[in-house]
A and B are shown apart, each in its own frame.
Chain A
């Protein structure tokens, strides 16, 4: 058997040599072709990230005042964070799931993105306010950010301390790039339609310098979702000077100025009326062109300086400093006074707002039926009826001009800018052959700047004064409390001016960490620990009339001391069987984004703010028998003392409202399995599966404050049993890889189930449950208080299959040039019914007095669907 194999290998080697490629290189190449999409998914802001951004963008269904910085966790381009978890080991599960399950926005173990750390040359690049890494920062720079090292929570690494979602370190040192040119052209029908990317590297030259540059452009006049567009440039320049055997310095700068139109979620009713699960309510026709109301502009220019010092053969010190100034803004429609909500899918515009269509025993009157029909007909009559009517908005403003009143409709721009400087210094030392340690620090300061500007007056002559429209009815127009900026009461807002809110969040962090590894006779032991200090401060730049003494200036500084430790081992029993296990306890300071009860208006911290605590344990078993390799893992994570802030327009109070939950307990547990069966050297089958659960475990103390309240109302939020949303808790895949003569074919059948949508804390608030008669308190037989609760059910998508396939070919050209062609087909069977996530409405079916509303918010969650069939063709040329 062995001799046959040897002969075969020899033959293969000869064949390869004959065509000028070593077997090793070919394998690497195939892997690269295959991995390329994974990395693309991991890095593009587009495909996965926008989803969460959409979630955020439309998380409130009323108004233009939607964004709370606390909710920005849902924002941005971050969901890939954990899906792109990489391992230092050759872990098939981790390397595959990120790409495989990406159409369904799969997050490993359902961890939130803040638990995944991304380092660049050893500097932690996660946003200190929200905890997440912004993949938009490196958008379109796939080739330039491909070198990376990764580690899971219970693996050792050489760069930093990993969180429960793992950590990866992108290496941008110019000498690490293969010398030569690389051109890549992409055509696809996704959020962008075309991408061109060019990378050149000198390699390490004789003079000790290495230079690498990369530029890219991504474009779509209209993406696959109607009304979206994409316009993104990326640049990357890196220079490294190897001074001598001991010292090397490197400087890198990059950025990705991007402008793109967003997609919004809608209710099933709106999808039904539009006859598409990809209906996008954010756009409308203006002069016959499609104009999107939600445009993201982002640009995060970054400079990274690195000094590598090889102190001696056993010791290396890596020191890096990174500075970034990120600009991130989203536009949205705003409206003043009592002008009607201009959003086409505003609930009052839907047929089911006419009568209760959900109560099958209800007999509508003739009028109600006629109104329903009229509304239905309107939606169905033409596409433009389902979209924003820009002409009407301009017309209203023109009328306002003629009447001498201020703008009724306008576009506002919500900015979340950030300036951050982070420094890291990491010492790796090899004590002896079997013992190593690492010790390092990460110090950073971050200033997040949150404000709103007036972007477009839509033809109006004036915006008028900076007042809160929701407060006018409560206090009267002349009251100081309606003013957003009391110190400048008569300031007329003009295009480009800051208005409504303006505050900074300052976060400082210092993290000291260490790690020790011991390796002997197949037994690998690992221990790590960190200690971290965090300070959080809000600094208000406006004196808000509803919090005159608590809005401008400093909130004071909250200080947190946190840390943790972990140990793990890896026992290679006999070469074919390996057992790994480990556990860790971690405390993290609360995220600044969750630390303030009403950040746009007030300086108040959430009361009882404390470190979040995470207990994590896992065990895994790997084996390799002949052609079969497999890994089975089980994990359990308990998160306690967590804080979560939601912000939304409260219809019953007619106020923008914040709801903070403090003391949340969540658990994540489950099993993961990956099996690879190499049937022949060119044919392999694989199975990858993740079945887990992630849920809230307790009924949480909540505090509820509207922007016009003076102090929060305490109430219980009945979250127990609600599931973590936006990722399939069941994801299974059966795949086949076939590889012959430079061709590479791959197909997989994937099954997903248990995708929950975001549970609304407002729907689970004690007060809401009481209004709805779902929470009753009585006196038991022994005089004790008996609470009876009917918990709202959480919407869950139906399970289903999706099929993906790809085909690739690598062609060697003369002169060492190489052409790679790769075509990926996603969702081949065009399953358009897979829900990837969404959110329940933060509105109640009843008014505060208990009277029923016609429209049933609880029956109408906002949903997102996985992309329909789509193709991605990538042609790469190395020369």
Chain B
């Protein structure tokens, strides 16, 4: 019986030592685990950069940065819902620019309001549809030419520094209130992309039934976007919605909204006609549509 007692004690003590081995403390993350934490302060503004390379951008060209240029801005558009894909837009007090990155789920580390720096050296700047973008050059087999394209995930992380925590109350998050007059002025297109708000507008398609981007309405078999129209006064702004967006099959709400996002342009490189140079709007999420008073 004594032995049984010992056996029991042994069993209990063994059981007691069988403590959980799968306990981990949260990492402290003194520095962001993504990005290049050695990038120094901004050396120029986004506007200056766009002005400097204006002709390259407008001509859908590309040019490599050879100098140590650093820009800093706050993320104003990203891929959170899948409507924006493989790019983000950053904005500083002077303007916005698209950063093309061949990666998905970028918003997980770079939510709206995150301040980042981009060390431009060795990257490329150029225009796609005459819209300013930082990326790398890539060979477009379809047109047999090089153009501005997305940098790889690694290149991005080597050239990007996360600064501080995301904060949606920052000066850079003050959108330009877009008026009909602003849209009418063609020269404004050269400053796209622009972090903007369209005030008190509604979707032309909103009838309480139509969806944002159903597959049946996509532009073509290979182009998975659906076109939706918003008018600021009489000036049309084209929304190209992705059928892959989380809200693709959500009904377009009726009524007037203040829509926050990025005003872009698309200028068909093959044509000089005004009708081939249009304003477009990049919407991150339907949460950025605020019911207007």
| Residue numbers in A under 8 Å from B245 (CB-CB) | 473
A389 pairs with B33, CB closer than 8 A: yes
Q: How far is the CB of B76 from chain A (nearest CB, A)?
A: 13
B105 pairs with A338, CB closer than 8 A: yes
> Complex Cα distance A338/B24, Å?
26
B14-22, B38-46, B126-134 - interface stretch: B14-22
Task: Say whether A783 faces chain B, with CB atoms less than 8 Å apart.
Answer: no
Give the residue of A367, A391, A474 whose beta carbon is less than 8 angstroms from that of B138. A367
With A395-B32, A473-B244 known to touch, is A291 a contact of B24 (CB < 8 Å)?
yes
> Complex Cα distance A849/B243, Å?
15
| Chain B 131-146 residues near chain A, CB threshold 8 A | 138-139, 141
Q: How far is the CB of A84 from chain B (nearest CB, A)?
A: 26
A213 pairs with B112, CB closer than 8 A: no
Task: Say whether A378 faces chain B, with CB atoms less than 8 Å apart.
Answer: yes
Task: Say whether A233 faces chain B, with CB atoms less than 8 Å apart.
Answer: yes
Task: Say whether A782 faces chain B, with CB atoms less than 8 Å apart.
Answer: no
With A340-B105, A402-B166, A403-B168 known to touch, is A391 a contact of B33 (CB < 8 Å)?
yes
B14 pairs with A217, CB closer than 8 A: yes
Task: Say whether A249 faces chain B, with CB atoms less than 8 Å apart.
Answer: no
With A213-B4, A289-B24, A403-B168 known to touch, is A337 a contact of B15 (CB < 8 Å)?
no
The residue in B8, B21, B251 that gathers the most chain A C-beta atoms within 10 A of its C-beta is: B21
Q: How far is the CB of B34 from chain A (nearest CB, A)?
A: 6
Residue ID in chain B nearest A458 by CB atoms: B26
Q: Mark B77-93, 1 if CB is under 8 A from A, else 0.
A: 00111100000000000
Chain A: interface secondary structure? mixed
B7 pairs with A200, CB closer than 8 A: yes
B82 pairs with A338, CB closer than 8 A: yes
A235 pairs with B15, CB closer than 8 A: yes
A394 pairs with B27, CB closer than 8 A: yes
> Complex Cα distance A403/B166, Å?
6
| Chain B 218-241 residues near chain A, CB threshold 8 A | 221
> Complex Cα distance A303/B287, Å?
56
> Complex Cα distance A409/B110, Å?
15
A475 pairs with B113, CB closer than 8 A: no
B104 pairs with A399, CB closer than 8 A: no
> Complex Cα distance A338/B103, Å?
11
| Residue numbers in B under 8 Å from A420 (CB-CB) | none
B152 pairs with A399, CB closer than 8 A: no
Task: Say whether B246 faces chain A, with CB atoms less than 8 Å apart.
Answer: yes
B109 pairs with A396, CB closer than 8 A: yes
Residue ID in chain B nearest A394 by CB atoms: B27
| Residue numbers in A under 8 Å from B179 (CB-CB) | none
| Chain A 470-484 residues near chain B, CB threshold 8 A | 472-478
B152 pairs with A374, CB closer than 8 A: yes
B249 pairs with A338, CB closer than 8 A: no
With A259-B21, A476-B247 known to touch, is A371 a contact of B152 (CB < 8 Å)?
yes
Task: Say whether A777 faces chain B, with CB atoms less than 8 Å apart.
Answer: no
* Total interface residues in chain A, CB < 8 Å: 60
| Residue numbers in B under 8 Å from A403 (CB-CB) | 111-113, 166, 168
| Residue numbers in B under 8 Å from A395 (CB-CB) | 29, 32-34, 109
B15 pairs with A338, CB closer than 8 A: no
Task: Say whether A176 faces chain B, with CB atoms less than 8 Å apart.
Answer: no
Q: How far is the CB of A402 from chain B (nearest CB, A)?
A: 5
Q: How far is the CB of A34 from chain B (nearest CB, A)?
A: 28
Task: Say whether A14 faces chain B, with CB atoms less than 8 Å apart.
Answer: no
| Chain A 389-419 residues near chain B, CB threshold 8 A | 389-392, 394-396, 398-400, 402-403, 405, 408-409
With A394-B27, A402-B166, A849-B221 known to touch, is A378 a contact of B34 (CB < 8 Å)?
no
| Residue numbers in B under 8 Å from A371 (CB-CB) | 152
The residue in B17, B111, B221 that gathers the most chain A C-beta atoms within 10 A of its C-beta is: B111
| Chain A 448-483 residues near chain B, CB threshold 8 A | 458-459, 472-478
With A213-B4, A287-B27 known to touch, is A402 a contact of B21 (CB < 8 Å)?
no
> Complex Cα distance A607/B250, Å?
34
| Residue numbers in B under 8 Å from A231 (CB-CB) | 18, 20-21
| Chain B 100-124 residues near chain A, CB threshold 8 A | 103-105, 107-114
Q: How far is the CB of A759 from chain B (nearest CB, A)?
A: 31
The residue in B10, B20, B110, B221 that gathers the most chain A C-beta atoms within 10 A of its C-beta is: B10
* Total interface residues in chain B, CB < 8 Å: 56
| Residue numbers in B under 8 Å from A849 (CB-CB) | 221
Q: Mark A98-141, 1 if CB is under 8 A from B, else 0.
A: 00000000000000000000000000000000000000000000
Task: Say whether A793 faces chain B, with CB atoms less than 8 Å apart.
Answer: no
Give the residue of A339, A392, A474 whose beta carbon is less than 8 angstroms from that of B249. A474
Task: Say whether B272 faces chain A, with CB atoms less than 8 Å apart.
Answer: no
> Complex Cα distance A140/B142, Å?
63
Task: Say whether A286 faces chain B, with CB atoms less than 8 Å apart.
Answer: yes
Residue ID in chain A nearest B244 by CB atoms: A473
B3 pairs with A200, CB closer than 8 A: yes
> Complex Cα distance A365/B145, Å?
13
Task: Say whether B165 faces chain A, with CB atoms less than 8 Å apart.
Answer: yes
Residue ID in chain A nearest B22 by CB atoms: A295
Task: Say whether A257 faces chain B, with CB atoms less than 8 Å apart.
Answer: yes
Q: How far is the CB of A230 from chain B (nearest CB, A)?
A: 8
The residue in B27, B82, B246, B251 that gathers the most chain A C-beta atoms within 10 A of its C-beta is: B27
Q: How far is the CB of B27 from chain A (nearest CB, A)?
A: 5
Q: How far is the CB of B242 from chain A (nearest CB, A)?
A: 10
| Residue numbers in B under 8 Å from A200 (CB-CB) | 3-4, 7
Q: Mark A839-853, 1 if CB is under 8 A from B, else 0.
A: 000000000010000
Task: Say whether B167 faces chain A, with CB atoms less than 8 Å apart.
Answer: yes
> Complex Cα distance A391/B108, Å?
13
Task: Say whether A94 faces chain B, with CB atoms less than 8 Å apart.
Answer: no
Task: Say whether A574 faces chain B, with CB atoms less than 8 Å apart.
Answer: no
Q: How far is the CB of A356 from chain B (nearest CB, A)?
A: 14
Give the residue of B14, B24, B211 whose beta carbon is less than 8 angstroms from that of A286. B24
A-B contacts, 28 listed (Cβ < 8 Å): A211-B4, A213-B7, A215-B7, A216-B14, A229-B22, A232-B18, A233-B14, A233-B15, A261-B22, A286-B27, A338-B81, A338-B82, A338-B246, A374-B154, A394-B26, A394-B29, A395-B109, A399-B109, A402-B165, A403-B112, A403-B168, A408-B105, A409-B108, A472-B246, A473-B246, A477-B247, A477-B250, A478-B250
Q: Contacts A399-B114, A402-B167, A472-B246 given; 20 further ones with Cβ under 8 A?
A: A181-B3, A198-B10, A200-B3, A213-B7, A215-B11, A233-B14, A233-B15, A257-B18, A259-B20, A338-B107, A338-B246, A339-B108, A374-B152, A389-B33, A390-B27, A394-B27, A402-B111, A403-B113, A459-B26, A473-B245
Closest 9 CB pairs of A and B: A340-B105, A476-B250, A391-B33, A396-B108, A403-B111, A233-B18, A215-B11, A213-B7, A339-B105
* Chain B contacts to A: CB under 8 angstroms: 3-4, 7-8, 10-11, 14-15, 17-18, 20-22, 24-29, 32-34, 79-82, 103-105, 107-114, 138-139, 141, 152, 154, 165-168, 211, 221, 244-251
